[in-house]
Structure 1
């Protein structure tokens, strides 16, 4: 086990992973202003990756991040990619663009960080509940469409896929028979968030099972509760009270107020750990991480570590994107 913990910062983890970061190509989804993905990008930039690809629905908002990276690490190439995870047509366009990068034969790390938390009911262009469709299904499709940039047929060149989940997965398993909440009739924003975060963990597990022999390591993580990011800026007092009521009913006291918050620098630590730390190996492929540690199986929900549910989610996701991915 590593010596890292709750208060560890991304800079502290990165300093131990500097050799692993140097020269790598990293693609990050969702590095919007005041996001952990943006903090992760700034943190690793000073350790000399060759390229950081920043994918966002609105790339114009990424200009301050690009400037920050250039100011601190002018030798690092940054590239912007327009990626709208709520539209499968636009995901396919973005993937086509990535696959056409002649100067990027291999992507070393893909960090799927873009996401929504506890938003009002909505749907993707394909009619999928918005949190499930964006947080999981969109990343499922994008990752599989660019998999040629990640795999190594002989398994000699490794890559990592990091799916940003949350301890919010404790709020709900994947609702395989009703992922759309009765077309919104039974919608609860927190259960929907929990479903999508469980899916992030199961997706990592399924990827690991399929692609380990091709050099892919896939893990998921909970970055911690961060009070200063834009992820929860839309939530009001009633929304948090709703979470508290659910927490009481489910016996989850950690969601009933009194959150112990991390700084953005601390929140980025597990990102860096997941993407680069040497303790993430074939033996820990598919695992769930928190506080820059590998979480013991007994310390996260059974529905997020069940191989049968991971396979069921994979098949459901293929149906929702209308494409089968056989590895």
Structure 2
């Protein structure tokens, strides 16, 4: 199993590395942030609620103290804590994305690590105010816009050490193998079936984004990860709240999780593994890593370069129609 202690411990006064992460205040994102903080990163946690993120920051600092108390003074002299900061961001609103990016740029001059972690799964069909199916916008389109706006802080200066982008995908991206077309919203009944196709579409598009970014920005290591079956996450909250069926789903998830699931902290390991120094842009750009950071090959649709180019062109066009100009290079 991956060991987070293998990662390099940083001294921010000597090597200041900045991370921007979406959804870092709960679930596996919480533990991703915890380990980054323990390893000396300056972490900006982007979330909707300042109250919730501030509460998470207090919990993160408390947990860091608990873990550091188990180490000897000799070890701790080489392990410096980073910093935790809040950025307001609502992924369901493109205007909020733009505002968050602008706020971040006023506070930092460079970015080393962008973790596109936040997501929703298997929710009822709805459309955001920006006109996108909600899973597609939160899981993919808004993250595409964030990457477009921030990647210039990562690959335009030799002062930025080891820039990386990590996108949280899912084994659920394979639901898109049935049919992949970003214009097809799968707005059919029963939702309990077609919501998974919408989810798969968004997560496949995210893998396409990673591959396209790797091709367009070869100095930045861009990878997608599947964290494993993280069963005790709020991603399943919609299903477990359903009348009658909710209890059945809860039982099913518990049974499945007991055999195949991983904890939130173990789920963070696929992301953290992609920070190790043995990964490089020359041999690993655009790759997909699964549970505990084991390299795997995604679905044939996710791997297809033509589909990736189509996803990029579609997203650029749709964002442009809404007044958000992005990188059009092919």
Query: Structure 1 267/227 Cα, relative in aligned 2: closer, same or farther at 3 Å?
Result: same
CA distance in 1, matches of 2:126, 2:11: 38
Alignment gaps of 5+ in structure 2:
66-79, 250-254
Instruction: Indicate yes or no: 2:114 matched with 1:110.
Output: yes
Which residue does 2:24 correspond to in 1? 31
Which residue of the partner structure matches residue 202 of structure 1? 208
1:170 lines up with 2:169 in the alignment:
no
SS in 1 for 2:40: coil
Check whether the contact 2:120–2:139 (CA below 8 A) recurs between aligned residues.
yes
Q: Distance in 2 between the 1:270 and 1:142 partners?
A: 21
Which residue does the alignment assign to 2:36?
44
The 8 Å contact of residues 98 and 146 in structure 1, kept in 2 or not, is answered as no
Residue 119 of structure 1: CA displacement? 0.3
SS in 2 for 1:231: helix
Aligned match of 1:312? 310
1:304: how far off?
A: 0.7
Question: What is aligned with 2:68?
Answer: none
- Distance of aligned partners of 1:62 and 1:324 in 2 relative to their CA distance in 1, 3 Å threshold: closer
Q: Provide, for residues 146-170 of structure 1, a one-character-per-residue CA deviation record: whole Å limited to 9, x for no partner.
A: 2222223559743101000000011
Query: How far did 1:204 drift?
Result: 0.6
Which TM-score applies when normalising by structure 2? 0.81
3-state SS of 1:55 partner? strand
> Residue deviations 1:57-83, cap 9 Å, x none?
222111222113333369522211111
Describe how 1:137-148 pairs up with structure 2 within 5 A.
137-148=141-152
**Structure 1 position 159 matched with structure 2 position 163:** yes
Closer, same or farther: CA 57–125 of 1 in aligned 2, 3 Å: same
Describe the SS at the equivalent of 1:100: helix
Residue of structure 2 equivalent to 1:302: 300
Separation (CA, whole Å) in 2 of partners of 1:311 and 1:154: 28
Deviation of 1:292 (Å)? 3.2
Q: Residues 71-100 of structure 1: CA distance to partner in whole angstroms, max 9, x if unpaired?
A: 336952221111111111111111111122
Q: State the distance in 1 between where 2:122 and 2:11 align.
A: 33
Alpha-carbon distance, 1:295 to partner: 2.7
Partner residue, 2:69 = none
Partner of 1:251: none
Deviates more, 1:151-160 or 1:83-92: 151-160
Q: Would the alpha carbon gap of residues 207 and 240 (structure 1) be closer, same or farther in structure 2, given more than 3 Å must change?
A: farther
Equivalent residue in structure 2 for 1:82, among 82, 85, 88: 88
- The alpha-carbon deviation at position 177 of structure 1 amounts to 5.7
Instruction: Identify the range of structure 1 (315-324 vs 155-164) with the bigger mean alpha-carbon deviation.
Output: 155-164
Partner SS for 2:60: helix
Alpha-carbon contact 1:223-1:290 (below 8 Å) kept? yes
- More displaced 10-residue stretch of structure 1: 185-194 or 84-93: 185-194
C-alpha distance in structure 1 between counterparts of 2:160 and 2:225, whole Å: 25
Q: TM-score, normalised by structure 1?
A: 0.82
- Aligned residues of 1:287 and 1:294 also touching (Cα < 8 A): no
- The aligned residue for residue 280 of structure 1 is 279
2:310 matches 1:321: no
Q: Relative contact order, CA 8 A, sep 6+: which one is greater? A: 1
Alignment of 1:195-274 (within 5 A): 195-212=201-218, 215-236=219-240, 238=245, 260-274=260-274
Larger radius of gyration: 2
Aligned length: 294
Would you identify which runs of 4 or more consecutive aligned residues in structure 1 move more than 4 Å? Answer: 153-156, 184-187, 237-242, 256-259
How far residue 180 of structure 1 moved from its aligned partner, in angstroms, is 2.3
